[in-house]
Amino acid sequence: DQQVKQNSPSLSVQEGRISILNCDYTNSMFDYFLWYKKYPAEGPTFLISISSIKDKNEDGRFTVFLNKSAKHLSLHIVPSQPGDSAVYFCAASARYGGSQGNLIFGKGTKLSVKP
């Protein structure tokens, strides 16, 4: 049973426009959410995170929104740049729910930003 779902395997966006990557989760014990970016031939790199006590976190061009009632989070990239082209993984953890803070990853969304 997939606890973290990224239903869009790929997304194509024009440079300068907004990229919106979506993630859904099923485990109500998740209380910390992260986005990772992965380029080919490299390991995933941490991008931005949000705690369940917040509904929004911003870091430069990147904003993560959390809707706990819908068990949904999204990553907004504004404006999108060609260098943002990568695979983006959503991850979640339940610090107090028995998983000891281990991360559960979605399958990833490949973002392509076209010049």
Partner 1 sequence: DADVTQTPRNRITKTGKRIMLECSQTKGHDRMYWYRQDPGLGLRLIYYSFDVKDINKGEISDGYSVSRQAQAKFSLSLESAIPNQTALYFCATSDLTGSHTDTQYFGPGTRLTVL
- Whether residue 82 has a cis bond before it, omega within 30° of 0: no
Q: Does 96 bind partner 1 (CB under 8 A)?
A: no
User: Are 78 and 61 within 8 A, CB to CB?
Assistant: yes
- Minimum distance of partner 1 from residue 115's CB (angstroms): 26
Q: Does 45 bind partner 1 (CB under 8 A)?
A: yes
Near partner 1 by CB under 8 A: residue from 64, 66, 88, 108:
108
Three-state secondary structure call for residue 107:
coil
Query: What count of other Cβ atoms lies within 10 Å of the Cβ of residue 7?
Result: 10
The residues binding partner 1 (CB under 8 A) are: 6, 9, 32, 34, 36, 41-46, 49, 89, 93, 95, 100-103, 105-108
